Amino acid sequence: MKKKYSRGELSKEILKSLAIGGFVVVCFVAPNFAQVAKLFDAKNSKDRWRLKRTLYNLTKERLVEISYNKRGEETIRITGDGEKRILKYKYEEIEIPIPKKWDKLWRLVIFDIPEIHRRARNALAFKLQEVGFYPLQKSVFIFPYECRDEIDFICEHFKIREYVNYFVVKEPENREYLGQWFNL
């Protein structure tokens, strides 16, 4: 394989690769998982064994299903639990792209999440700071670049969309300080 994977990282990469491939990978001549091995550049028996073991563990965890048709073709499908795991990986790796030229608009995220959803509220605030937002108040965050899709994804991840508002602002009150904070 091209790279050495740490514990659990190979499973993560296999799931993500299967998802990119449209949730279904068909391999010919069972139990030859040729496409998965080709995808990960498994050239020797040790690499192929590692991939097979990882796929077996993914089936044991019910993240993927392997089925065979009458012609002996092997189909690997991601289960509902596998899709949830992939969304978790996407959430953990979310980044907001920084354009070369700033449009001179600010993005304001304001939320009022009920106490019953405290964990989601705290996780949202933490994630906003993690991706680079500046906290104006406990539930008001500002960012200089377009990020609506990322905010929508985060809100859907926590199932709190109805409590979060996204605004585009031309001139915030403390724009000089914010410009320094974001190096604009």
pLDDT digits over 7-47, tens only? 667 666 766 666 665 434 444 333 445 555 555 666 677 77
Tell which wins on pLDDT, 174 or 57.
174
Task: Dump pLDDT digits (tens) for 72-106.
Answer: 666 777 777 777 777 777 777 788 888 888 888 99
pLDDT score at 30: 35
pLDDT score at 97: 86
pLDDT score at 140: 94
CA distances 100 to 133, 134, 177, Å, are 18, 20, 21
- The strand pairing partners of 66, in sequence order, are 76
Amino acid at 161: R
Alpha helices in the chain (DSSP H): 9-20, 34-39, 45-60, 80-92, 118-130, 148-158, 175-181
Tell me which residue of 75, 74, 63, 60 sits closest to 29, measured CA to CA.
74
pLDDT score at 109: 94
Tell which wins on pLDDT, 98 or 54.
98
Contact 142, 98 (CB under 8 A): no
List, in order of start, the domains of the chain with CATH numbers: 9-92 (1.10.10.10), 106-181 (3.30.70.240)
pLDDT score at 157: 82
d(CA 55, CA 135): 42
